[in-house]
C-alpha cells in the first residue's frame, strides 16, 4: 500500500494509453491535480501484460485512455478474471473503440463504437461517427449517484460520438441532446465483481482542464475503487 508523506492513504491507479495521439502534458496534469491519487503510466502493448502479473494487485483501479486492438486469448482471459475478482475500471473517450474483434469487450465497457461497417445477421451495421469541437450541453441524469455528487449540468467543447451500440444493462449517469451525439455520455456498468464507469469526454484540453470533467473523473476513480 502506498502512502503520502503525511501518511494519508492514497489510491494507486494505472493510467493506460497507446494507439491514439493525445496532449500528454495537459492530460496528466488532470491526474496530478488529484491530491488523493498516485498513478503509474502504462503504454500498450506492454500494458496488456499486467493483468496476469503480480503487479496488478497494487492498483486500486485502472483508467483506460487507449485505442488498441491487439489482445491475445491469454490476455483476454486474464482481463476477465481480473474483473471477476473486482478490479475497478474507468474507460475514457476513444477507449470505447478498442478491441473490435473481441465481442466480450462490449459487455465489459457497456457499449461498442464501430470503426467500420459491420455485418451482423445478414444486416449491415453502419460505422459509428465522430464530430470534433462541438458545444455539448451535458445533463446530470442521476445527481444522487456518488460519481455525480456535487456536479451540476454543464457545457463543454468536446468530440461527440454517435451510432454506437449501448447495452441495456448500463446505468446512465449523464446525457446530452446534441443531435450528433449518442444520448448517454456517462454510465456505470458491472462485470463480475467490478465496478465500471465509461466517460465519453476526454478529446483534448477542453476536457482535461474542465472542472466538471476533473471532478467526474476523480469521483469515478473513487467509486470504482470501492
Q: How many CA atoms lie within 13 A of 46 on its CB side?
A: 7
Per the structure block, which three cell numbers stand in for 145? 449517484
pLDDT of residue 25: 98
pLDDT of residue 5: 33
State the Cα–Cα distance between residues 191 and 109, nearest whole angstrom: 9
Report which secondary-structure segment, H or E, holds 19: none
pLDDT of residue 19: 97
Q: What is the pTM of this model?
A: 0.95
Report which secondary-structure segment, H or E, holds 83: helix 73-84
CB contact at 8 A, 186 and 198? yes
Residue 2 lies in a domain: no
pLDDT of residue 8: 60
Q: Taking the CA atoms of 209, 211, 214 and 217 in sequence, report the sign of the dihedral they define.
A: negative
Residues 6+ apart with CB under 8 A from 101: 69
Q: What are phi and psi of 136, to 5 degrees?
A: -110, 125
Neighbours of 70 (CB within 10 A): 12
Q: What are phi and psi of 160, to 5 degrees?
A: -105, 155
Residue 65 lies in a domain: yes
Instruction: Specify the DSSP class assigned to residue 101.
Output: T
What is the full per-residue pLDDT of the chain (226 aa) written as tens digits? 222 333 367 999 999 999 999 999 999 999 999 999 999 999 999 999 999 999 999 999 999 999 999 999 999 999 999 999 999 999 999 999 999 999 999 999 999 999 999 988 888 999 999 999 999 999 999 999 999 999 999 999 999 999 999 999 999 999 999 999 999 999 999 999 999 999 999 999 999 999 999 999 999 999 999 7
Residue 3 lies in a domain: no
Instruction: Please list the helix, strand and coil fractions of the chain in percent, rounded to the nearest 5, in that order.
Output: 25, 35, 40
Residue 5 lies in a domain: no
Chain centroid to CA 185: how far? 11
pLDDT of residue 122: 85
Per-residue pLDDT tens for 21-39? 999 999 999 999 999 999 9
CATH of the domain at 191: 3.40.50.880
Q: What are phi and psi of 190, to 5 degrees?
A: -130, 145
pLDDT of residue 1: 27
Residue 151 lies in a domain: yes
Residue 6 lies in a domain: no
For residue 122, the enclosing domain spans 11-224
CB contact at 8 A, 34 and 218? yes
Number of domains in the chain: 1
State the Cα–Cα distance between residues 180 and 37, nearest whole angstrom: 35
Amino acid at each position: 500500500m502506498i502512502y503520502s508523506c503525511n501518511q494519508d492513504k492514497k489510491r494507486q491507479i494505472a493510467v493506460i494509453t497507446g494507439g491514439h495521439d493525445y496532449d500528454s502534458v495537459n492530460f496528466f496534469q488532470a491526474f496530478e491535480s488529484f491530491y488523493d491519487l498516485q498513478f503509474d503510466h502504462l503504454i500498450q502493448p506492454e500494458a496488456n501484460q499486467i493483468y496476469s502479473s503480480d503487479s496488478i494487485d497494487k492498483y486500486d483501479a485502472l483508467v483506460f485512455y487507449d485505442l488498441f486492438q491487439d489482445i491475445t486469448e491469454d490476455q483476454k482471459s486474464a482481463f476477465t478474471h481480473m474483473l471477476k475478482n473486482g478490479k475497478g475500471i474507468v474507460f475514457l473517450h476513444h477507449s470505447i473503440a478498442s478491441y473490435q474483434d473481441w465481442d466480450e469487450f462490449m459487455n465489459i465497457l457497456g457499449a461498442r463504437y464501430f470503426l467500420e461497417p459491420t455485418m451482423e445477421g445478414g444486416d449491415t451495421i453502419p460505422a459509428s461517427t465522430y464530430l470534433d469541437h462541438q458545444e455539448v450541453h451535458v445533463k446530470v441524469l442521476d445527481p444522487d449517484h456518488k460519481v455525480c455528487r456535487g456536479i451540476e449540468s454543464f457545457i463543454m467543447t468536446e468530440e461527440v460520438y454517435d451510432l454506437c451500440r449501448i447495452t441495456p444493462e448500463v446505468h446512465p449517469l449523464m446525457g446530452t441532446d446534441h443531435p450528433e451525439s449518442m444520448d448517454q455520455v456517462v454510465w456505470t456498468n458491472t462485470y463480475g465483481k467490478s465496478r465500471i464507469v465509461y466517460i465519453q469526454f476526454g478529446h483534448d484540453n477542453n476536457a482535461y482542464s474542465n472542472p466538471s470533467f476533473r471532478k467526474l473523473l476523480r469521483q469515478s476513480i473513487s467509486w470504482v475503487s470501492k
